[in-house]
Chain A
Amino acid sequence: MAGLELLSDQGYRVDGRRAGELRKIQARMGVFAQADGSAYIEQGNTKALAVIRGSRARALPDRALVNCQYSSATFSTGERKRRPHGDRKSFEMGLQLRQTFEAAILTQLHPRSQIDIYVQVLQADGGTYAACVNAAMLAVLDAGIPMQDFVCACSAGFVDGTALADLSHVEEAAGGPQLALALLPASGQIALLEMDARLHEDHLEQVLEAAARAARDVHTLLDRVVRQH
């Protein structure tokens, strides 16, 4: 047997979703009273926790410094992981998160301050970046830090001429092209766009469109969570 059939002829994915459908999203804000802001999100089986700390410690004169730290739990993947902290992957993810939020948070309103964002992935099942962004965004909102807009992230992939939204681990592991997009839904601006593997330029638009649509859907769902909070 070589390779799973990611998209059946009837248009179903391995887990029963259709191409454009998201996984189930559940979220809660204000998980920890101790922190300035916190949130927990489940996107399918990917579970992430985000905590915000604000301080006046190290300072840039004109704007706030955003610092992100990412880690994933040793038990988050199917196989046991050797090194829980400080590997390159986590570092890179931290940088990406930082870029995303520097674009979204109105940093100039808080000069000489530092905003720390800690994200922990408890269970990884594909789309970790997207889950982290969404969790951190909820936490930032919880902390009451002014932002331009929501930041909603979602991943998308490309299989047999069709763009798939919100990839699960199985779909990611198949090794096809994968695109992660963080979007400011109101303005439609892109905060971050990342792409693995090669994809023909003709298809890029299609995949991008799928990711953007999925990110807007995420926005609707998260908006509901925020309003409930």
Chain B
Amino acid sequence: MLQKREKVLLLRTFQGRTLRIVREHYLRPSVPCNSPLCPQPAACRNDGKLLSSDVTHYVIPDWKIVQDYLEILEFPELKGIIFMQTACQAVQHQRGRRQYNKLRNLLKDARHDCILFANEFQQYCYLPRERGESLEKWQTRSIYNAAVWYYHHCQDRMPIVMVTEDEEAIQQYGSETEGVFVISFKNYLDNFWLDLKAAHELYDSILQSRRERENESQESHGKEYPEHLPLEVLEAGIKSGRYIQGVLNVNKHRAQIEAFVRLQGASSKDSGLVSDILIHGMKARNRSIHGDVVVVELLPKNEWKGRTAALCENDSDDKASGESPSEPMPTGRVVGILQKNWRDYVVTFPSKEEVQSQGKNAQKILVTPWDYRIPKIRISTQQAEALQDFRVVVRIDSWESTSVYPNGHFVRVLGRIGDLEGEIATILVENSISVVPFSEAQMCEMPVNTPENPWKVNPEEERERRDLRKTHLVFSIDPKGCEDVDDTLSVRTLNNGNLELGVHIADVTHFVAPNSYIDIEARTRATTYYLADRRYDMLPSILSADLCSLLGGVDRYAVSVMWELDKTSYEIKKVWYGRTIIRSAYKLFYEAAQELLNGNVNIVDDIPELRDLDEKSRQAKLEELVWAIGKLTDIARHVRAKRDGCGALELEGVEVRIQLDDKKNIHDLIPKQPLEVHETVAECMILANHWVAKEIWESFPHQALLRQHPPPHQEFFSELRECAKAKGFIIDTRSNKTLADSLDNANDPNDPIVNRLLRYMATQAMSNALYFSTGSCAEEEFHHYGLALDKYTHFTSPIRRYSDIIVHRLLMAAISKDKKMEIKENLFSNKDLEELCRHINNRNRAAQHAQKQSTELFQCMYFKDKDPETEERCISDGVIYSIRTNGVLVFIPRFGIKGAAYLKNKDGLVISCGPDSRSEWKSGSLQRFQNKITSTTTEGESVTFHLFDHVTVRISVQASRCHSDTISLEIISNKPYMIPDTELVHQSSLLLKSDLVKEVTRSVEEAQLAQEVKVNIIQEDYQKYCQTKGRSLYILLEEIRDLALLDVSNSYEI
């Protein structure tokens, strides 16, 4: 069946000799053509993705086109693309792995209409390379030949366009075969995709940057950077310990000078280095960009430098302020880059004046990235003037050793600078979040639920699922007004007197089949993104707000975990997992549930389900519900207490306590103390997550998705301990229990903020909780430090987290495995799951960044219109929580803002406070101590700021054209801000955060309406479904905690 051919290759060995290698090459009569027009699909074995049948032609790009213009081929508008194997191999060999992987992902992506045709393994398509024929010519010839064969294979029914940049090929093959057209890419875009502006622009910009590069390589420049070492040398160096491998992190605040390399993997153990390695200056950084995996060589000890502890603004000039840096730390220089992590960057063109000063070379323009950590990028475009006021996306193409800046090309426009939509788009792109509306193909997979055609329970499902509609009293407890309910609870007494506790989670996996379009989309998004004013859903709203939402009074599918508990000791006797049908009887909100728990029955009027009943049945139903809530609370209390009693680290551990505390801060607006019902629900969810984690791990020890929270490094706690000591508290950080206890004790009765800040510092010191695959790490590492559980996962929010969907599938597979049934779900192997976990963790991090950045954006927009000199609101009370050499870091509880305040200004003047405690700038000097900083003027006056001192600060916005605006703080008095009526302002401040968002949104909307622009749809959605950000306390807590754990901006301030 196979035909054997031989291929002679001449390879160059590493020593420089040529080596003659004979490789076999097997040809076969049929390879999958993946075309719906194929006359013999059986012979071709077309499985997997087919080209769509509604295209007018197929397009076959030449190898050169694939290499250079892959980005254009990535446009979803271009359909029916056939990548020839020859072209793919050319990419692999000449463009390296990064681009090849991009191509591979494109081919794997079911949403993209393109296929690979393995022409070199096809008997009739393969052409041996002739003697003396250049590689390029042969590649073009092969691709053309394959195109012709493909055309005939489809029985001449589909015209084929081959696009190439090779003029000769166009001449030679242009009219050789009817139906196979050979044209240039430019020509192709002009003829077929004239409307696709973006593609044309991208084409021009790529072409231009390529030309520039060619020109440049001809010019002989002086070298700006040393060359990178070849890969073999790097690998050998890493093995021998001479070089060190790590990820480059640029210091946001001193992007020009300081970067750190965080060690990776084994190299950190061998070299005995604890801290990161400092990379000082752009030269030493040697063309690596933030996020790259680099190889570093350590410098000799006498060249080591210290990091700067002073606060400084993001000025590009080197500040030789003569401040003594801290003690020297390991310093190195980059000798090579193992993996480039280039992504799309948002940039701003220089303003007109700056362009003129750049002068002579108007073709090439240096643009400034939005992210401080990215160096300026040189791009060549003629549109510079038109794009002046816009945020623009660019990509980096290359960075030669002869060039100070990297070369890039322009991709697309996001929006105007300062415009809300543009800025939000910027945040999304910077975090690599892509949220296009759900496509038609994806929506087609969704079930229908309209008044004319209501969704019904399928009788087949009814047979297979356990029916809890009649037997169980199921209810949900959520915040007011929430519409996407993914968890419900139930409790009842069994015949033998034991209790049965049930947690019922929305059965999302029933609607989302593995590898369906919607599944792929959800996997890509990985989570629902919450920005300050809007939400980007992971699943379409038909699922998230309707069919998967466990609303009251309707039949819904669910996945349930039910425990049988002993009637008195609440010991867990049995556990049952499975699919069920439920009908939630009540959709309660927290406050109502709490009232019921307290025995306050008047609240009954607020429960719509009970309102319309007659007195008698209402009384009966109410009693039933009150009993259930009471029992539930009792169980939750017991479950927790028992764990405490066992002497082990109790369940809620640090995490929940800290969360609760944070919760108190941020949402002072809800009652003063968190309700017990909150904890009850959270406890039940944690219990369910824990048991599901155990179950899936037992069934699939090597491929279960769990969540770990590694214990923190003790050295990170040192700052916390120091700070606490300043206030006279002792923090014991040896274990999570001691930490929690000592944090509880560290409470200053006069100043509740101290405790909050200490807790904030504790969270700062901890590492992030992460998803992982059980096959990839040892069992001891599964531990969840915060919750003090040996195994934990996420199971309870499948509507907004993809990890939960995976866990649901695993649980279903585990159930069928237990029943010795065939496992229907195709599970991920350990390797795939590991990669998926990495992706989800990544996306979660991006979601947190985006949320944080959008909040900051709103804060800035809020304060932007206010005049800091006159506006009352811009002056507020702040607490010092960290001391630096030239300033202090201040936390403003009222707005939740953290920021730096300088004690020494740019002219070298220091702050001083007169007898009326008003501050002024005078000449003098600063002196920094462990927990205080003293500013002394030349006249001898001095003022000292201690840690945790209250000061009055003025908030103003520092506008920036190229970057996001920042809030800047100025200390105007060393006394706490006096508020006339504390209570009153306290009340008003509570509403401020949501108010702030609303106010900004409103003003933007007004502006938009004025321009007769449509009010954005997402906004409407937001109001329509009125989905709150955190629907249950538990989720809210998780979010807040995550946010606190990952306060990115602070990671390198120290």
Which of B4, B6, B26, B116 contacts A10, CB < 8 Å?
A: B116
Minimal Cβ-Cβ distance residue in A for B17: A79
Flag whether A177 is at the interface (Cβ < 8 A): no
Question: Closest CB of chain B to A38's CB: distance in Å?
Answer: 24
Contact yes or no, B6 A16, CB < 8 A: no
Which residues of B have CB within 8 Å of A161?
829, 831
Chain A residues whose CB sits within 8 angstroms of the CB of B97 once the complex forms: 1-2
Taking a contact as CB atoms under 8 Å apart, the answer to whether B92 and A125 are in contact is no
Q: Provide the bound-state CA to CA distance between A23 and B4, in Å.
A: 8
Q: Within the assembled complex, what's the spacing in Å between the Cα atoms of A5 and B91?
A: 13
* CB closest chain-B residue, reference A23: B24
Centre residue among B4, B92, B118 by max chain A CB count within 10 A: B4
Q: Cα distance A23–B19 when bound, in Å?
A: 23
A16 surroundings in chain B (CB, below 8 A): 2, 25-28, 118, 120-121
B6 and A45 contact, CB distance less than 8 A: yes
Is there a chain A Cβ closer than 8 Å to B1017's Cβ? no
Beyond A1-B96, A15-B26, A168-B24, 6 additional contacts (C-beta under 8 Å) are A9-B104, A9-B116, A15-B23, A24-B26, A79-B19, A161-B831
A2-B231 CB under 8 A given contacts A9-B107, A9-B116, A161-B829: yes
CB contact list, A45-74 vs B, under 8 A: 45
Residues of B within 8 Å of A2, CB to CB, are 97, 231
Q: How far is the CA of A168 from the CA of B104 in the complex (A)?
A: 25
B interface residues, how many (CB within 8 angstroms): 30
- When the two chains form their complex, are residues A10 and B20 in contact, meaning their CB atoms are under 8 A apart? no
- Across the interface, name the chain A residue whose C-beta is closest to B121: A16
Cβ contacts under 8 Å, A125 to chain B: 22, 24
A17 lies within 8 A of chain B by Cβ: yes
Q: CB of B108 within 8 A of chain A?
A: yes
Judge if B32 is at the interface, Cβ distance under 8 Å.
yes
Select the residue from B2, B13, B702 with max chain A CB neighbours within 10 A: B2
Cα A5 to Cα B831 with chains together (Å): 17
Closest A residue, CB atoms, query B105:
A9
Q: Are A21 and B118 in contact (CB under 8 A)?
A: no
Which A1-31 residues sit within 8 Å CB-CB of chain B?
A: 1-2, 5, 8-10, 12, 14-17, 21, 23-24
Q: Which residues of B contact A176 (CB under 8 A)?
A: none
The complex places the Cα of A78 from the Cα of B23 at a distance, in Å, of 11
Q: Is B21's beta carbon under 8 Å from chain A?
A: yes
Given A15-B24, A78-B19, A1:B104 Cβ within 8 A: no
Q: Which residues of A lie under 8 Å from residue B702 when comparing CB positions?
A: 202
Q: Is A35 an interface residue (CB 8 A)?
A: no
Number of residues on chain A facing chain B (CB within 8 A): 23
Q: Which chain A residue lies CB-closest to B93?
A: A1
How far is the CB of B196 from the nearest CB of chain A, in Å? 28
Q: How long is the Cα–Cα vector from A168 to B121 in the complex, in angstroms?
A: 17
Interface string of B1-36 (1 = CB under 8 A from A): 010101000000100000111111111100010000
User: A16 to B3, alpha carbons, bound, how many Å?
Assistant: 10
| Residues of chain A lying within 8 A (CB to CB) of residue B2 | 16-17, 21, 24
Contacting residues, chain A, for B22 (C-beta < 8 A): 45, 125
Contact A5 B92 (CB under 8 A): yes
Q: Which residues of B contact A (CB under 8 A)?
A: 2, 4, 6, 13, 19-28, 32, 92-93, 96-97, 104, 107-108, 116, 118, 120-121, 231, 702, 829, 831
Chain B nearest CB from A191 CB (Å) reads 27
CA distance A104 to B355 in the complex (A): 85
Q: Is A170 an interface position by the 8 A CB rule? A: yes
Query: Chain B residues near A8 (CB, 8 Å)?
Result: 118
Q: Which residues of A lie under 8 Å from residue B104 when comparing CB positions?
A: 9
What's the minimum C-beta distance from B132 to chain A, rounded to whole angstroms? 23
> How far, in Å, is B602 (CB) from chain A's closest CB?
62
State the CA gap A24–B26 with chains docked (Å): 9
Contact call B118/A12, Cβ cutoff below 8 A? yes
**What residue in chain A is nearest B27 (Cβ atoms)?**
A16
- Chain A residues engaging chain B, CB cutoff 8 angstroms: 1-2, 5, 8-10, 12, 14-17, 21, 23-24, 44-45, 78-79, 125, 161, 168, 170, 202
A78 proximity list for chain B (CB < 8 A):
19-21
Measured CB to CB, the closest approach of chain B to A64, in angstroms, equals: 38
A180 vs B752: C-alpha distance when bound (angstroms): 71
C-alpha spacing A170/B24, complex, angstroms: 10
CB distance from B834 to the nearest CB of A (A): 13
Nearest Cβ on chain A to B293's Cβ, whole angstroms: 13
Chain A nearest CB from B425 CB (Å) reads 33
A12, B96: Cα distance in complex, Å:
20
Which residues of A have CB within 8 Å of B28? 16
Cα A16 to Cα B108 in complex, Å, equals 20
Q: Which residues of A contact B116 (CB under 8 A)?
A: 9-10
Selected A-B contacts with CB under 8 Å, 5 pairs:
A9-B107, A15-B26, A16-B28, A16-B120, A168-B24
Determine how close the nearest CB of chain B comes to the CB of A192; give it in whole angstroms: 26
Decide: A170 near B23, CB < 8 A? Known: A12-B118, A161-B829.
Answer: yes
Chain B residues with Cβ below 8 Å from A45 are 6, 22-24
B92 (CB) vs chain A CBs: closest residue: A5
What 7 A-B pairs come out closest when comparing CB atoms? A16-B121, A16-B26, A24-B4, A15-B24, A44-B24, A17-B26, A78-B21
| C-alpha spacing A16/B6, complex, angstroms | 12
B118 near A10 (CB under 8 angstroms)? Answer: yes
Most buried by B among A10, A24, A45: A10
Cross-chain contact B121 with A1 (CB below 8 angstroms): no
Collect the chain A residues with CB atoms within 8 Å of residue B108's CB.
Answer: 9
Which A residue sits closest to B120, measured CB to CB?
A: A16
* B230 CB to nearest A CB, Å: 11
The answer to whether A12 and B92 touch across the interface, beta carbons within 8 angstroms, is: no
- Shortest beta-carbon distance from A70 to chain B in Å: 22
Give the residue name and chain of the A residue nearest to B13 (CB). Answer: A79
Closest chain B residue to A26 by CB distance? Answer: B4
For A14, give the chain B residue with the smallest CB separation.
B23
A15 touches B107 (CB 8 A): no
In the complex, residue of chain A having the shortest beta-carbon distance to the beta carbon of B1: A21
Instruction: Please name all residues of chain B whose beta carbon is closer than 8 Å to the beta carbon of A24 when the two chains form the complex.
Output: 2, 4, 24, 26
Chain B residues, CB < 8 A from A79: 13, 19
Residues of A with C-beta under 8 A to B25: 15-16
Which residue of chain A lies nearest to B20 when distances are taken between CB atoms in the complex? A78
Please report the C-alpha to C-alpha distance between residue A78 and residue B13 in the assembled complex, in whole angstroms: 11
State whether A12 touches B19 (Cβ < 8 A): no
Q: Is the CB–CB distance between A12 and B831 below 8 Å?
A: no
The closest CB in chain A to the CB of B28 belongs to A16
Query: In the complex, A216→B97 CA distance in Å?
Result: 38
For the complex, what is the distance from the CA of A125 to the CA of B25, rounded to whole Å? 13
**Nearest Cβ in chain A — how far from B8, in angstroms?**
11
* A3 to chain B: closest residue by CB: B97
Instruction: Give CA–CA (A1, B116) in the complex, Å.
Output: 21
Rounded to whole Å, the gap between the CB of B46 and the closest CB of chain A is: 12
Residues of chain A within 8 A (CB-CB) of B24 are: 15, 23-24, 44-45, 125, 168
Closest residue of B by beta carbon distance from A168: B24
Query: What chain A residues lie within 8 Å of B120 (beta carbons)?
Result: 16
Q: For residue B6, which residues in chain A have a CB less than 8 angstroms away from its CB?
A: 45
Best-buried of B27, B92, B107, B121 by chain A (most CB within 10 Å): B121
Q: Residues of A contacting B27 with CB < 8 Å? A: 16
Q: Are A12 and B121 in contact (CB under 8 A)?
A: yes
How far does the alpha carbon of A44 sit from the alpha carbon of B104 in the complex, in Å?
Answer: 30
A9 to B34, CA, bound (A): 14
What is the CA–CA distance of A14 and B121 in the complex, to the nearest angstrom?
A: 10
CA distance A1 to B21 in the complex (A): 19
In the complex, which residue of chain B has the Cβ closest to the Cβ of A17? B26
Residues of A within 8 A of B831 (CB): 161
Residues of A within 8 A of B32 (CB): 10
- Complex: how many Å from CA A95 to CA B841? 53
CA distance A10 to B2 in the complex (A): 17
A17 to B6, CA, bound (A): 13
Closest to B235 in A: A2
Docked complex Cα distance between A171 and B104 (Å): 21
With a cutoff of 8 Å between Cβ atoms, the chain B residues found around residue A21 in the complex are 2, 26
What residues of A have a CB within 8 angstroms of the CB of B829 in the complex?
Answer: 161
Nearest chain B CB to A161 CB, angstrom units: 6
When distances are taken between beta carbons in the complex, the residues of chain A under 8 Å from B19 are 78-79
